[in-house]
Each structure stands twice: as C-alpha cells, then as structure tokens.
Structure 1
Amino acid sequence: MASVLDIRRADERFHTRAGWLDSRHSFSFSRHWDPANTHFGLLLVSNDDVVAPGTGFDTHPHRDMEIVTWVLDGALVHQDSEGHNGVIYPGLAQRMSAGTGILHSEKNDSWTLTGEPEHRNPVHFLQMWTIPDTAGIQPGYEQLDINDELARGGWVTLASGMPEHTSRRAIAIRQKHAALHVARIRPGETLELPTAPFAHLFIARGGAELEGAGLLGTGDAARITGSDGRRLTGGSDGAEALVWEMTAAVTVS
C-alpha cells in the first residue's frame, strides 16, 4: 500500500467556545458535523481542551468507549460512578473504559484544606476516544506516571491494547488494534513514526519537521494511511508529539 499523507492544520479544526471552555476538535463532535471527517482509523475523537479555573465538565455518561486523557498544563480532577477519583497532571496518563456505562466529571476545581482554590490557572489537556474491540465490558479506570520514561527520550508507549506491547509499562486499552505513543522531542532530534496501516500524528506543542510534509506546528496533525516509518525531527524549540498506531479502521456502514 502506498503511503498517503493528509495534513490537517490547527486552524482548520472545529472550534467550541463556551466561556469556561475553549475546545478544538480534530473530528466531528457535538454540534460540529462533517460526514467526511468523522474519524481516522479507530480514532473517533481528538479534542484539545482548555478549561478555566473553578469550572469543568459536570457529571455526564459514556458507554462502550476507550477514553485516554493527557494533560499538557495544569491539573484535572476526575471522579466517576465506579468510585475512582484523582488528579491528572502532565506526564500522568489516564484511561477510562466506559464499557456498559459510566458517569464521570472532569474539573479544574480542587481546593486546599483552608478553602482556597488550589488550581488558579487554566488546565490544558487532550482527550482521545477510540472504540473498544469488545462491547459491553465492565467499566474501568487506570492511570500511570510516565515522566521518567519521557525524560529518557524517544517514543514512550502511553496506552496500548496491542499484544506486542503487553510487556511494556503502559496503560491498557481494550482495543487490540491500537496504541498511543508520546514523545518530548528535543531540538534536532529525529524519531521514526510507527509503520502501520494507519497513523495519526498530533503536535501538542512546539514544532517538528515531518519527512515529506515540512514543518508542523502546535495543533497541526498528520493522518497517514500506510504509514511507512517516515522521520519526524524536532524544531528549534523541540516538540511534544503524540501518535496513534492503528492496524484497523472503523467500519462505516
């Protein structure tokens, strides 16, 4: 299969602005709908959210979805109907399996013991959804701090359901055809993208030169069908990049 490269620039994304929320959507989401842009591979949602202090997403439901959250700046408070709660911060990966149904909230609203707000700054995070390979599973939650691995450089597998990644230190998703990798690329450092039928590259911050495409900046993405291991080189300020490696795609009926 010949490699096909589709570059999506940051300012081409759908945009939701709700006062407390500034959100950019790589795919159709909520009131934003484009039948030609509903997913890529197994990735259905890739949202880039900024939430103001003292606000956030109130309790809401999900079902039969694997949801991965990655914080870039600030901290996000998670609570769900299965009794899980915690604070997600940069370098801490989180996965929530919605399965048969789960309720959860995500807020920028933790407080000190004296009643003062602990989080006075916006929280900036990415949230990505992929379908599970098995419907109706028991809801679940997992988080893992991978800051030490990121500091050593190169791609770090953040979440995976692929059998070949079971020996790696990563959070597990119930999708055997998908894995998510992240890297904090130093200026001039070169990494290879995964070789896979589908790869979705997102530049979360900074800039990087993608072989065959040129410079990608903050918020830019590359959708690669027949990903052939092309090289990604950090720009003058380096970059934080995430790439989904996928061996299957959503079947559209």
Structure 2
Amino acid sequence: MVTKIDNNIKYGKQHGGFGIQILYPGLIMPQLNDTGFFTIGRIDHARITPGTLIPMHPHRDDEILTYLRSGSVKHLDSEGHSQEISNQKLMMMNSGASYYHEERVLEEGGALEGLHIFIRPETAGLKPQVQFYQLPKVHSRNLWRKIAGKGSGYPLQIRSSTWLMDVRLEKDQQIVLPEVPSENCAFLFYVFAGKVNVHETMGLVTGESALVEDDNPVFRAVETSDIVLFITKTDAVHFDEGMYSGNLQ
C-alpha cells in the first residue's frame, strides 16, 4: 500500500528569517492515534535567511539529524562541540536526557535549506552525544546512500530501529526501494526537491512524501529530484514522549 502525504498536512511557522514546514507523518493515518509514524516522530523542512541566529535551546529524548542541502551553520552545544555544518557535513544530535545547542546561519553560505529530523529513541534518559560525518560527495546519483541508522554500514548511528538514506534521482531515471535492514519495516519516501511519479499513477512534488507498506513501487524522476528515504521497524520498541518526536495527542 502506498499512501500519499501532500503539503496540505504540514504546519507552517515563520519568524523573521526563520521558516519551517513541519510534517507529523502519523497524521495521515488517524487509526494509529499517533502524530508520528512508529519511530519517525517529526520532519521539519527549514528555509532560513543568512545571519539568522537560533539561540541556545534544550532538547530531550530525541535523535536529531541535521541534513542541509544549501547554506551552512555554525553549531555550538552543551557537549562542547563547535563545528560548521553544511550540505557535505551532516550532524546527528542524540540528545538523550539533557542537551542544549544553538545554530547561526552563516552569511557566506547563503540561504539555508534542509531537514531537521526527529527520530524516537528506544528508551528515555540515554546519555547525550553528538556525531558528525563528512560526505565524500554532496549527492549520490541514482543510487541509495546510507546516511544514518542502527547498526553497521551507517556512518551516523541512531539509537532505535530506524534507517535513513538519500539519492539524487536524475530525470527519467527509475529506482525501487532498497533491501530492508530488518523484518516488519515500512518506508517514508520524502521528496526534498523535484518531482517523482510512483507506479506512474501518483505524483509527488517538492515537500510531499509517500508512506509505503507491503509494496515495492517503482519511482521515476519526472525531473531531477533529491529524495530522503526513512525506514522504520513497525514493531520496534521506542519512546514516544520526546520533546519534539513525541506523540502530540
């Protein structure tokens, strides 16, 4: 089954140069009684003007991936890290029991666009930690690339049964879902930018996504498209009361 999530389901926030569109993927399936989709709690698609400061603020019990496609930020946190994050340097903040950070969008990097992804951990109160990863290339063309997940082969580790991949699918190229890393998995296929057809019967444009359960659709790029793929184990133990990834109902 493939379920489309269009942009109408998102919540928009704008404050000065800071703008985000927030996706709670579980809202498309009211029967779940959960704003998240199993371990996938929330996805923020951010567009932020250069020079914007997001001041020091807390996080708790969320696994947070910062995935930029344009722009750069100076990151500071309560664990003592000071790093520049860009479209080639990714960051995973495993916030655990208590964690603070701030981000300043750098003038020289231009306008920022990226995802701030909140994943649910297996349990509450874990030790906070921060991970960084330098991508060999900005894009992976027509091949799924492992970004973050549980277990070997994923450069950034997530402390739950969740896996993230990305791909730049060039115009008229096709792709299918990768082999699942575990039993009982479902997928969220997110179009960061572009236009993609699913089975030639469903169209997805920038910001839209599809939940895939017990199906293996063919995805074709109508135009060159950047895609982020989320895989979640539907029977996995997870903590759903995180500060941002938690169930809002």
Structure 1 length normalisation: TM-score? 0.82
1:142 maps to what in 2? 131
Distance 1:91 1:192, change over 3 A: farther
Kept in 2: contact 1:74–1:89 (CA 8 A)? yes
For residues 140 and 114 of structure 2, the distance between their equivalents in structure 1, rounded to whole angstroms, comes to 20
For residues 136 and 204 of structure 2, the distance between their equivalents in structure 1, rounded to whole angstroms, comes to 24
Aligned residues: 230
2:62 maps to what in 1? 65
Look up the SS of the partner of 2:116 in the other structure.
strand
Kept in 1: contact 2:39–2:121 (CA 8 A)? no
Letter in 1 for 2:176: E
For residues 221 and 174 of structure 1, the distance between their equivalents in structure 2, rounded to whole angstroms, comes to 24
Distance 1:124 1:150, change over 3 A: closer
Shift of the alpha carbon at 1:12? 3.5
Kept in 1: contact 2:142–2:175 (CA 8 A)? no
For residues 20 and 152 of structure 1, the distance between their equivalents in structure 2, rounded to whole angstroms, comes to 31
Shift of the alpha carbon at 1:150? 3.7
| Alignment gaps of 5+ in structure 1 | 29-33, 110-116
1:184 maps to what in 2? 168
Within 5 A, what are the aligned runs for 1:58-97? 58-97=55-94
Distance 1:137 1:213, change over 3 A: farther
Shift of the alpha carbon at 1:213? 4.3
Given candidates 7, 14, 18, the residue that maps to 2:15 is 18
Structure 2 length normalisation: TM-score? 0.83
Q: What is the Cα-based RMSD across aligned positions, in Å?
A: 2.4
| Alignment gaps of 5+ in structure 2 | 241-246
Kept in 2: contact 1:202–1:221 (CA 8 A)? yes
Within 5 A, what are the aligned runs for 1:87-166? 87-109=84-106, 117-119=107-109, 121-148=110-137, 150-151=139-140, 153-161=142-150, 163=151, 166=152
Kept in 2: contact 1:92–1:147 (CA 8 A)? no
For residues 94 and 138 of structure 1, the distance between their equivalents in structure 2, rounded to whole angstroms, comes to 17
1:198 maps to what in 2? 186
For residues 100 and 215 of structure 1, the distance between their equivalents in structure 2, rounded to whole angstroms, comes to 41
Letter in 2 for 1:125: G
Any runs of at least 4 consecutive aligned residues in structure 1 with deviations exceeding 4 A, and if so which?
34-37, 249-253
Q: Which deviations, in whole Å up to 9, do the C-alpha atoms of 1:71-111 show, x marking residues without a partner? A: 011112211010112111113221000012110012204xx
2:203 maps to what in 1? 215
